[in-house]
Structures are given as structure tokens and as C-alpha cells.
Copies of this chain bind each other. A is one copy, B any other.
Amino acid sequence: MSSCSIANAIRILSADAVEKAKSGHPGMPMGMAEIGSILWSKHLKHNPSNPKFVNRDRFILSNGHGSMLLYSLLHLTGYNVTIDDLKNFRQFGSKTPGHPEYGYTDGVETTTGPLGQGLANAVGMAIAEKTLANEFNRPGHDIVDHHTYVFVGDGCLMEGISHEVCSLAGTMGLGKLIVLYDDNGISIDGEIEGWFNENVAKRFEAYNWQVLGAIDGHDMVQIDQAIASAKREHNRPSIIICKTKIGKGSPNKAGLEESHGSPLGEAELKLVRKELNWPHQAFHVPEEIYQEADCKKSGARLENEWNSQFAVYNTQYPDLADEFIRRINHELPKNFEQVINDGLKLANDKKETIATRKASLNSIEFFAKHLPELFGGSADLTGSNLTRWSSAVTSNAENNFTGKYISYGVREFGMSAILNGIYLHGGFRPFGGTFLMFSEYARNALRMASLMQIAPIFVYTHDSIGLGEDGPTHQAVEQTATLRLIPNMNTWRPCDTVETLAAWGHALSLANTPSCLIFSRQNLKFIERDDATIQNIAKGGYILSSNSKNPQVVIIATGSEVELAMNAYECLCASGKQVQLVSMPSTSVFDIQDLAYKQQVIPKNTKVIAIEAGVTGLWHKYVGIDGLVIGLDRFGESAPAKDLFNHFGFTTEKVLTKINQFLG
């Protein structure tokens, strides 16, 4: 096997690119060069000419700091990543950012860097593959049939999320998930023995994985055989433990932390060239290596085969084929706007005073009829989050992944990053629930969804002191505000059944933005609206009631505080004030409306009041420095919800007192 030359090309390209950028991580690509070259040239089913080839194997670089390994492989195997792109490593606007960024570079399946999450995304992709295969494959027609490969380092395996998702992957028996572990014994603080001496093989056996190795991660025959063994196992995920030397090829820095995250230096790079017997100048790769590495031809053949297969499938199952194409492309049904309007009408007609978490379940029930791509779940709070609709079936190995619902266990971060992976795979619209508080356990996965511009939906119930007796550890007072601060995050806190349906509809309509939907534990009063008002909900903030074209006072509220604001509004109206009541379930959606609309909702030079049972800071954006925010800048307490709302001033009487003081 002669992949050695490809491996050395990876080493040199990586070290050269880091050197030119004056920053980056040469150690990992040099250490995993053989593993990368064998996997990509001998096993990975992919088509460089069409990075989106539907039935491709998914490849995830969870140790994303080693991005030059991936860029080198993409370049050498024939993707649209040129040698000039490699020269532009880590430069503004390049295809080769410091960490692999989804959407920037062909062949990058997910954004990685925050350790452990790539592995979790991969688990999501493996779940999606199994479930999509079950749904669309037919006897003799395995149109969905691929592996998911992940590279991980010690850092990924130290992170807690690796435990969450690997334990789940083992339980679920994800046989087509193959992890290659770069066991190089080095992390940034040095030799890991002092902080990470667990027995990884035993740990993964405990998770019910097939454990292969330890193999010599620089021995191409061993790598090849181990991957082949992993592919033969169908009922358990596999991890291949690859003993490697970080920075291999660098005479003075191999095996040391020094090679991890800094350029090797000009002098050392010369020695690397000598060591590897690589006489070529920077960014020059001999033509024979390109030819050897090129996967364009084999990739085209793979895709042509699949296309032929799919053509037959299309004649035998035309509806299924159409649906498959729609689903894999994340296209909504054509009539989806009408669907939302039907849902709004239904919710409005029912006039139910229920918890918005229950209204959320009703919304899921409604949309599930129209969107078979819905893939639900909860981090062990199904009965509390109310995420499971009546016809949902649990997805597991026993039923060969017939279902589209997962009890993720108490694994909020893992679940959230898995949702990202399910979405990235294509074919599904994943959502998952937990208590709003535990969005904090998963926080960086939400950010990654926002950054990647993908659209999973995070369902958060029990949204404030309204959850009552469980106390301050579970009472979200600052979480709604902090979620609103994530760029490109669609955050909603609806006040009743109709706003809840609208929030779900809005979230499902978005293709490039994830959503956080925030719901109450307790019942919230149904609010009467005319049709025009209902249509305005989708603008994020809207006039719910107004007794004047030129109000003196505007009261803004969200969620459970809207009823309170309405009571206050009515009292103020009765006392002769000119008042406007605004419901603002989504500040981020309101913010992107045109100025005229926004100034109609919150006219300039009025006194503005905001009411929300949470931290106040952000509301000054709408009420100004001198506006009144009736909120809660402290933690809650354990007590029945009613007592808490009373104690913390969220009663009509107390709110009115504050407002009247404010108005003077």
C-alpha cells in the first residue's frame, strides 16, 4: 500500500499552511496523516465533484483544530479546495478558516472546534441515517446506506458530551458509526497521564461498543484492517484506538505538546522535509500523488450507481422518491403557509386556557400531520416538556429505527448537539425538549446551530418562577434574556395557545435559523384577537390592544406576564389614560421589522413599560434609560407559583402601583 506518499503530502501541506498563516495546529494532521489517507482513499464513499451526494459517507473532524488535515484531504482527493485556498489558510474570507466551518468549504459536514460536539453531531447523523433508511428504503432498494466516520482526540473524549452521546450511541446500537481515536497521549497542558489516565477501551466496552485496537496509527495495513472490521460490525458502534505520535515527521517536536498548536518554525520545517524525504517546495505536491489521491473518478462512479438505483426506485415508488428529495433538501410542503394559518384558526377557535407547554404539544400534534420529517425527543422530561405527540414512535434498534422520537436520557448537551447532527444529515426536522434552565447545560450547541445557520428547534418548558416549588435551581430568570443574545437565534416566549402555534409555525418556516421555543408550566389565559392581530404575531411584537392613536404609555409584556399587563392596561384605560398594550413573544423577530412598523408598535417619545418575570437589562433597548421594567434581577425561591408571583410583585395590584408611581 503506497498511501504513505499521500500521508506525507498531508503532513507537509499542513505544516506549510500553518507556517504561512503564522498560526494553527500542525501536530494533529501530522499525527493522523496515515489514518486520514487510508480512510479517504480506501473506505470513504464520497464524490469530490458533488460534496452533497446524497448517499455519501459522512466524515466529521471532531478534533477540528486539526482542520488542515481535512483541507489537505479535500484538496488532494479533488474537491473544490485549491492550492491557493490552502495558502489562504486562516485568512479573511478564505475557504480554509482556522476551524472547519459548515457552509464555507465543500465537504465540511459540520462546524467543529468546540471539542466533543463533532462526535455528538456524528451520533445524530448516524441516527438520521438509520431512521431515514428505515423510512425510505424498500426491499432491494437501499437508497440510504452509508457510514458516519469521526476523528476524535483526547480532548473530545475528556469532554462530558462524549460520555453522553457515546453512552446513548451504544444503547441505540448505531452499527454504522465508526470513531477513529487519535490516542497520542498529549494535550495542551502536556502529557495527559496527569489528568486523563482512564482506560478508554474499557470505557467504550462499558458503553456496548466494539473496541478495536490499540493499533499503530501509522501502520497503514493495521488502519485498513481495523476500518474493515468496524464496517463488518452492524449492531454496535465501533471505536478504533489508534496510537499515534503527534507532529510525526518533525524531528524535534514530534511527540511533544510544542507541535500541537503553533507553527513548527522555518528551521524545523526544513528538517521535516529532510525527515520525510520531501524535496518539493512549499505548496507543491507532485502530480503522481495527486493522481494517487484523486477520488473524482471513483466518486463519480459511486454517484452514478446510486443515481441509476434511484432512477429505478423513482419508477417503482414515485411518490416516495419525490418525498425523499423534498425531505433531504429540507423543503417544506408547498402549502405550508396555509397550514400555519389553518393551525392558527384552529387554536383561535378553541379558546383554550392551558399551559403553553400543552399548547406546544397541541401544535406539535397539528404540524406532525403535515410534516413527517418531525423528529422529536426530550432529555428525560417527556411528560413534563410534552414533546411526544400521540402517534409518535420511539426510535430504537429493536424496531429497526421505525420511530421518530428519542428519549435522550438526562443528556441535554448531547441531545442538542445530536439534533444539530440529525438536521445536518438531512431528511428530518429535529426538536428536543428540556427545562428552560437546562438550556444552560447545552448552551454551546445552540450557538453552534446558530453559527451553522441550521434550523433545529429547542423546546424549553417551565420558563420562570412560574414553575414554583422546584425552586431557584430550576427557575429561569436570566435564561430567556441570554438566549435572545445569541446571534441568529429565533427565540419565542408565547403568551397563549395562538401565539404558541404561531411560534411553532415561525420556527418551522425558517431554513437557516434555529429556534428556542419557551413555554410555561402553568396555565395561561387565552387572549381574544381579530384576524389582523393574529397575522401580526409573526412580526414578533404587535399591538394587542390600544385605546388611542397617540398613546401616552406603552406596556410591553411576554409570556405569562401578558395577562398581567392586560389587567394593568384595562385599569389604566379605565382611569382615563391613553395606553397601548404590546405583546412581544420574540424580540429578535420584532427587531428585524421595518422602522415604521416598529414605531407604530412603540411610538417615539412615549413612556414605555416592560413586564417580564426575568432579568431586566435587555428591556432598556425598548423602554430606554428611564423606562420602567418590572422584572426580576435576582434568583427565585422554592414555593408555590402563586406565592412567588405575589412575593416578587407580579400581581395586578403591585404592577399597577409601580406603573402609577412611574407615571407620577
Interface string of A545-587 (1 = CB under 8 A from B): 0000000000000000000000000000000000000000000
* Residue in B92, B154, B451, B639 whose beta carbon sits within 8 Å of that of A473 in the complex: B451
- Contact (Cβ within 8 A) B473 A409: no
- Contact (Cβ within 8 A) B208 A206: no
Assess whether A411 is interfacial by the CB under 8 Å rule.
yes
A336 to chain B, nearest CB (A): 28
- Contact (Cβ within 8 A) B197 A206: no
Q: Which residues of B contact A111 (CB under 8 A)?
A: 473
Bound CA span A472–B65, Å: 13
- Contact (Cβ within 8 A) B158 A159: no
A423 to chain B, nearest CB (A): 18
- Contact (Cβ within 8 A) B409 A192: yes
Residues 176-207 of A contacting B (Cβ, < 8 Å)? 187-190, 192, 194-203, 205-207
**Chain B residue with minimal CB distance to A91?**
B639
* Residue in B187, B197, B407, B478 whose beta carbon sits within 8 Å of that of A195 in the complex: B407
**Chain B residue with minimal CB distance to A480?**
B485
* Residue in B208, B378, B440 whose beta carbon sits within 8 Å of that of A444 in the complex: B440
A116 to chain B, nearest CB (A): 8
Assess whether A351 is interfacial by the CB under 8 Å rule.
no
Q: Which residues of B contact A23 (CB under 8 A)?
A: 468-470
Assess whether A617 is interfacial by the CB under 8 Å rule.
yes
Bound CA span A625–B473, Å: 33
Q: Which residues of B contact A428 (CB under 8 A)?
A: none
A120 to chain B, nearest CB (A): 10
Assess whether A290 is interfacial by the CB under 8 Å rule.
no
* Residue in B114, B158, B477 whose beta carbon sits within 8 Å of that of A487 in the complex: B477
User: Interface size on A (CB < 8 Å)?
Assistant: 114
Assess whether A509 is interfacial by the CB under 8 Å rule.
no
Bound CA span A510–B660, Å: 37
Q: Which residues of B contact A617 (CB under 8 A)?
A: 484-485, 618, 621
- Contact (Cβ within 8 A) B198 A170: yes
- Scoring A187, A394, A471, A647 by chain B CB atoms within 10 A of each residue's CB, the highest score goes to A471
Stretch in A33-41, A68-76, A97-105, A527-535 touching the partner = A97-105
Contact A471:B160 (CB < 8 A) given known A170-B198, A617-B484: no
Q: Which residues of B contact A386 (CB under 8 A)?
A: none
Contact A101:B206 (CB < 8 A) given known A158-B411, A451-B635, A625-B624: no
Q: Which residues of B contact A161 (CB under 8 A)?
A: 160
* Residue in B113, B114, B160, B469 whose beta carbon sits within 8 Å of that of A21 in the complex: B469
A457 to chain B, nearest CB (A): 19
Assess whether A486 is interfacial by the CB under 8 Å rule.
yes
Interface string of A130-143 (1 = CB under 8 A from B): 00000000000000
A635 to chain B, nearest CB (A): 5
Contact A160:B158 (CB < 8 A) given known A618-B618, A638-B101: no
Q: Which residues of B contact A626 (CB under 8 A)?
A: 624
**Chain B residue with minimal CB distance to A257?**
B383
Residues 286-321 of A contacting B (Cβ, < 8 Å)? none
**Chain B residue with minimal CB distance to A413?**
B160
Bound CA span A413–B488, Å: 25
A81 to chain B, nearest CB (A): 15
Assess whether A330 is interfacial by the CB under 8 Å rule.
no
* Residue in B115, B202, B443, B470 whose beta carbon sits within 8 Å of that of A113 in the complex: B470
Bound CA span A92–B163, Å: 38
Interface string of A437-458 (1 = CB under 8 A from B): 1101101100110110000000
* Residue in B207, B473, B478 whose beta carbon sits within 8 Å of that of A448 in the complex: B473
Interface string of A470-514 (1 = CB under 8 A from B): 111110011001101111100000000000000000000000000
Q: Which residues of B contact A197 (CB under 8 A)?
A: 170-171, 208
Contact A205:B208 (CB < 8 A) given known A188-B383, A451-B473, A621-B620: no
Bound CA span A613–B106, Å: 30
A10 to chain B, nearest CB (A): 20
Assess whether A49 is interfacial by the CB under 8 Å rule.
no
- Contact (Cβ within 8 A) A114 B206: no
Bound CA span A661–B202, Å: 64
A18 to chain B, nearest CB (A): 10
Assess whether A651 is interfacial by the CB under 8 Å rule.
no
Contact A167:B196 (CB < 8 A) given known A160-B411, A487-B615: yes
Assess whether A26 is interfacial by the CB under 8 Å rule.
no
Q: Which are the 8 A-B pairs with shortest beta-carbon distances?
A: A160-B160, A97-B638, A163-B163, A92-B639, A202-B206, A113-B473, A203-B206, A195-B409
CB within 8 Å of B: which residues of A?
21, 23-24, 64-65, 90-94, 97-99, 101, 111-115, 154-156, 158-164, 167-168, 170-171, 187-190, 192, 194-203, 205-208, 378, 380-384, 394, 396, 406-411, 413-414, 437-438, 440-441, 443-444, 447-448, 450-451, 468-474, 477-478, 481-482, 484-488, 615, 617-618, 620-626, 633-635, 637-640, 643-644, 647
Q: Given A101-B472, A198-B207, list of 14 further CB < 8 A pairs?
A: A23-B468, A158-B164, A187-B409, A189-B383, A190-B407, A192-B409, A195-B380, A197-B208, A199-B206, A201-B206, A478-B485, A485-B617, A623-B625, A624-B625
20 A–B pairs (Cβ distance < 8 Å), ordered by A = A23-B468, A24-B469, A91-B638, A92-B644, A111-B473, A155-B410, A160-B413, A170-B198, A171-B197, A189-B380, A197-B208, A198-B206, A199-B205, A437-B444, A441-B443, A441-B444, A451-B473, A451-B635, A485-B615, A618-B618
